[in-house]
Amino acid sequence: MRKYRTFIIAVVYVACCIFITVHAWAEKIKLRAGHVIPIDKKLSRSDIKGMFRRGERLVWAGEDANTVGMPVGGIAAGQLYLRGDGTLGLWQIFNKNIFSGYGATNYRTYKPESPVDSGFGVVVKQDDKITVRKLDRNFGKVEFAGEYPVGLVRYAAGDFPIKVELEAFSPFIPLNAKDSALPATLFHITLENTSSQTVQAGVLAWLENAVCLDSAPSIHALRRTRIVNEKGRAMIVHTAEKAPPPTAAEQPRPAVALADFEGPDYGDWKAAGEAFGSKPAGGTLASQNPVSGFVGKGLVNTFLGGDGPHGTLTSPPFEISRKFINFLIGGGSQQRQTCINLLIDGKVVRTAVGKDNEKLESHFWNVEEFQGKSARIRIVDGASGGWGHINIDQIELADAPQQTPPGELEDLPDYGSMVLACVNGPCQTRTVLDAVGGWAAQLNAEDDVTFPVSGSKTAALATQPLKLAPGQKQTYTYALTWHFPNFKQGHEYANRFNSASEVAHYVLDNHERLAGDTKKWHQTFYEDSTLPRWLLFRLHSTVANLATGTCQWWKSGRFWAWEGVGCCAGTCTHVWNYAHAVARLFPELERSAREMQDFGEGFHEDSGLVGFRSDNNYAADGQCGTVLKAYREHLMSADSAFLKRNWPRIKKTLEFSIKQDGNDDGLIENSQHNTFDINFEGPNTFVGSLYLAALRAGEEMAKEMGDEEFAKRCRKIFESGGKLSVERLWDGEYFIEVVDLAKHPKFQYEKGCLSDQLFGQGWAEQLGLGYIYPAENVKQALQSVWRYNWAPDIGPYNADYKPERWFAREGEPGLFTCTWPKSPYLPDGVRYKDEVWTGIEYQVAGHMVWEGMVEEAVAICDGVQKRYHPAKHNPFNEIECGDHYARAFASWGVYTALAGYEYHGPKGHLGFAPAVTPDDFRAAFTAAEGWGAFSQKRKGKTQLEQIELRWGRLTLKSLAFEVPENFKPAEVTLTMAGKSSKCDYTLNDRRVEINLKDALVLTPGQMLVVTIQR
Ligand SMILES: [Ca+2]
Ligand SMILES: [Ca+2]
Ligand SMILES: [Ca+2]
C-alpha cells in the first residue's frame, strides 16, 4: 500500500506548488543544451481538471471514426474488426499467418479493409413499397460509441423513420476464459420508430461464403451455402466441399503456353526498372544461392545485381481461354513486393508470392470466373532487403491445375465453416429481396446451393417487416460464428465445437447468460465507476489485443502470443514483463503460459534458465520477470496448488539470476540482454530493480512453501542490493548505469535517464512487496523521469534525435525511452532511446500512481489517448513492433494502481486504497474466482467500504483500507446480509487491516459493508 499520495486534484494551491517546485528545480539543474524537453510541461489547471472529469462515453462520428477497428471476435479466435460505421473489417479468422510489420510502417492513418461481404440493413415497408437502408457510413448520422468489449454504433437520418442502435461483441466475461474465447460475434440491432406514424420495419442481414478465402484461387473445389431452420433459428451455413471429377464433356483442352523465358530476350513482354535486365536469366545469378526447379535454360530471376534493384515485367494482353493459369514461382514472400499478378482492366485479381526459397515450385490460379476476358500478367520486384527478388518460369493456360492442390481440401487452414444465425425467425428472405430489387435481388436466398470456389456468393436473411408504432422499439439478435480448426497447434475452441453451427447454437442457447455477463462487466467497469470515462476507455482498450492475431490459445490449453500481430514469436518473457491485463482478467491463461512455457517447454532443468522465447536464450529482465509473474499468478489463484506445483522451478529460475549476480551482493554486473534488444554491460536499476523485486517475491513464496533458508538468502541479497544500488548508481536525481564505455561503446545509457529505471519497483507495488530502494530515491527518480523524458510535444526533440521507428508525431505528447539531460547524448546509446512505447508509458504511469504522482500519471495516459485519436489511429491498436502490441497490456497496471488494489487469493486477502477521489470512489475489481464493484465513501466521522460481488465467488479472510491522515478509527463494523458485527483491526500509519475470525464467501448479489468510525 502506498503511504504518500496526492489526494486533491486540480486544486489551485497544488498547481501553484508544482509551478514553484518546477522553477526551483530548473534553476538548480544545468541542462545539456540539446535537451529540448521542457521541465515545465505547461499543463494548465483546466487541462488537469479536464483529465479528471468523470465525463461521458466517448463518441466519434464521420471522418473521426475512419480508423476505428474494434476487435469483436473471441479471445484467440482470430481478428475481426467492427469498423467506425458498424461494418465488419479485416476478417483475419482463416489461420493465415499475418505479419503486420516491424513497427516502422505501422503507425500510419488508414481505414481497415474488408475482404468479405457482409452487413445489415433496415427493411422498411411504406405504402406497399419495400426499401432497405444499409447500416454503414451512408445511413445518415453515424456515431461510434464502442467501449471494449462492447461495440456500439448509432444510426439516424432525417429522411428515414427508423433510428438504429447496433451492439456488436463477442462474449467477454472476466475469469471465464472459455466463454470469452468463442469464435463468435453477437449483434443486437434495435430499431426505433422515430416518426409520428406506424411503420413496418425489419432487418436484412447478409454474409458472403468466404470459406477457403485465401486458398480459393489455387484450389479446385466447391463452396456450399445452405439456409436452414434449426431450433427456430434461421441460419446461413457456409461450407466448402470437394468438386466432383470432370465429366466426359468437360475433358481438358490442350494447354496454351504463355511464356517459357527460353528466348534471347523477353520478346513482347515489357521490362521496366533495373531488376529484370534485358533478357531472361540463365539460372543462378552472381552471389545467389542455387536456383532450381525451372524448366529449360531460362527463367525470370530478379536477383540481377542482388536484392537491391526494383522493376516490373508485363506481358502483352491475352485472352483467358482456360480455367487455370499454371506457373512456377520461387524467391521472396513479400506481398505486393515480390509477386506475380494477374491484371484485368488494370486491377490485380490474382497474386502470388514465393516462399523465401530459391527453388521454383508449381502454383496455379483458378480463373474460371474470368474466362473470355482479356488480361495481362505483371511480375513485380519492389523489394530491396533480404529475399527482395522473385523467380518465375513456365506460365501456361490450362483446363487443369498443374499441381495438386496445396493439400487435401479438408486440411487447408481456411477450410471450415461460417454461420450467420438470426433468432427472430422465420424469415421471408426471397419475398423481401425481390420486393427491394436492385443489389438486394442479387443476394442468394436458395436453400442449398453449390458453386466453384473461384466465384463468390453472398447469402441473405430477411425478417418480415413488422409494425412499429411511433416510439416503439424492436431488437433483433444475430450470431456470426466461424470454425476453422486447421491451425498448426490447433485452437482451444475446436476442442469444444465441431462446426460453426455448433458454436452458433451454443452462443444462442446461452445468449442470456453470455450477453448478460458481458454487459454486466461493461456496466461495472465503465458505467458504475467514478474514474474518468476516457481513462477507463484507454486502459481497457488494450485488452482487445486478446482478440487479435497477437494471441493464440492452443488445443493443448497453452496460451501463446506474438509480441505484435505476426511479429516476434514465443510469448517473449521480457515483453510480457509489462503485461498485467491478462493476468488480472483471465489468470488461467497466464498460468498456462507459466506452466506450459516458462516452467515447461522453455525451462532448462540443468541451469534454471527460462529461454525468453521458449528457446535457449537468456534475457536478464525476462528471467527476473518470470519470478515476479509466477508470484502474481499465485496471488491470482484461489489456492496454493499453482505455487506448490511450480515452486521447484520458480526457485531455480531465481537461482539462475542469483548466479548472474555472482557474489550475492544484489547487483547483477555481467552482460544483460534485455527488451531493448541489446545488452546492458554494467550494474543498472532496470534489470537490477527487477532482480531485487524478484528476490522479494522469492522470499515471500519461499516463506509460504516453508523454505525458510531460501527466504533468508533472498532477503539478505535483496538488502545488500538495495543499499549498493543507491551507493553506486544514484546520481543525485535518478539511477544511472555504471559501465565502461570505452569497453562497451554501444547500446548503454550510462549517465542517461532511463524511463524504465524503476521497473522492478513498479512491479513490487503491483504485488504488495514494498520499497526495494529508499522511498525518497524512488520518488525523486520518478520525478526525474517525468521532468526529463515526457514531452508535451515530441516534435522538437525528435527533430534533432530521429527515432528508429516513429510511434508519435510532431505535435503529439510522449515519454521517451531514454534521454541524457545532463551529460552528452550518446548517439550509440541504448537502442530505441528516442522512441515512445505505450507499454513503457503505462508501466511508468502505473508506478507514478503508487508513488502519489497521479496527475503526471494521468497526463501520460492522456498523451496516449491523444495519439490514438481515431481521426489518426485506431484507438484499439497500440503499435510497437507490429499491430496490437502485447506490451500495451501494461495499461491494467495503471488501473489497479488507481484503485490501490491489493490481493492475495490463497490467503483470501483483498485491499483498496483509491488514489483518486478517495472520498467517493467506485471501480470494478477482479479476484481469483469472482469480480465485482468496490466503493468507498468518506463522510464526517465515517468511512464506508462496500465490496459487491457480481460474478463468481469471493473468499475473504482479511481486508485492508486506507484512512485519511489523522483519522483514528474507534470502531470497525462488518455488515453482510443484514447482519452486523464489530471486528478487530490493526492500524499502521493510515492502513487499517481487518482479520476476519471466519472466512466469508460472497456470491453474486452479495455485498460486504465495512464501516470505519472515527
Ligand atoms: Ca524456362
Ligand atoms: Ca529487388
Ligand atoms: Ca554481484
Mean pLDDT (the chain) is 95
How much is the average pLDDT of 134-139? Answer: 98
SS3 259: strand
How far from 680 is each of 577, 619, 670, 732, 831, CA to CA, in Å? 17, 11, 8, 21, 10
The model's pLDDT over 687-735, given as tens digits with 9 standing for 90+, comes to 999 999 999 999 999 999 999 999 999 999 999 999 999 999 999 999 9
Residue 474 and residue 468 in contact, taking contact as beta carbons nearer than 8 Å: yes
Q: Is the pLDDT of residue 27 over 70?
A: no
Distance 285 CA to ligand 1 centre (A): 15
Residue 789's pLDDT is what? 98
pLDDT band at 14 (very low <50, low <70, confident <90, very high): very low
Instruction: Report residue 405's pLDDT band, with 50, 70 and 90 as the boundaries.
Output: low
DSSP per-residue letters across 601-640: ITB-TTT--B-TTSSS---HHHHHHHHHHHHHHHHTSSSS
Maximum pairwise Cα distance, the chain: 100
Distance 396 CA to ligand 1 centre (A): 12
Helix (H, G, I), strand (E, B) or coil at 487: coil
Cα distance between residue 178 and residue 75, in whole Å: 9
Per-residue confidence (pLDDT) for residue 245, from 0 to 100:
78
Whether cis (ω within 30° of 0) applies to the bond prior to 906 is no
Distance of CA 660 from the midpoint of ligand 3 (Å): 7
Distance 305 CA to ligand 2 centre (A): 9
> What whole-number distance in Å separates Cα of residue 439 and Cα of residue 389?
42
Q: What is the pLDDT of residues 913-941, one digit of tens each?
A: 999 999 999 999 999 999 999 999 999 99
CA distances from residue 137 to 168, 475, 752, 899, 981 in whole angstroms, order as listed: 16, 21, 49, 39, 58
pLDDT, residue 400, reads 83
Query: Is 24's pLDDT higher than 60?
Result: no
Averaged pLDDT, 402-429: 86
Ligand positioned closest to the Cα atom of 327: 1
CA 388 to ligand 2 centroid distance, Å: 4
Q: Residues 194-230: pLDDT tens digits?
A: 999 999 999 999 999 999 999 987 788 999 999 999 9
| pLDDT confidence of residue 247 | 74
Query: For residue 343, how far is its CA from the centre of ligand 1 (angstroms)?
Result: 22
Among all bound ligands, the one having the nearest atom to the CA of 386 is 2
Residue 994: per-residue pLDDT: 97
Measured in Å, residue 628 CA sits from the centre of ligand 3 at: 20
Cα separation, 168 vs 145, whole angstroms: 11
Ligand nearest, relative to CA of residue 669 = 3
Evaluate the CA torsion angle 575, 577, 578, 581 in order and state its sign: positive
Mean pLDDT for 657-685 is: 98
Distance 108 CA to ligand 2 centre (A): 25
User: Ligand 3 centroid vs 761 CA: distance in angstroms?
Assistant: 19
CA 297 to ligand 1 centroid distance, Å = 6
Q: What is the phi/psi pair of residue 613, to 5°? A: -120, 40
Ligand 2 centroid distance, CA of 297 (Å): 22
Q: What is the mean pLDDT of residues 468-494?
A: 98
- How many whole angstroms separate alpha carbon 546 and alpha carbon 549? 8
Q: Per-residue pLDDT tens for 827-879?
A: 999 999 999 999 999 999 999 999 999 999 999 999 999 999 999 999 999 99
Which residue carries 470497525 as its cell? 972
Distance separating alpha carbons of residues 287 and 278, to the nearest angstrom: 19
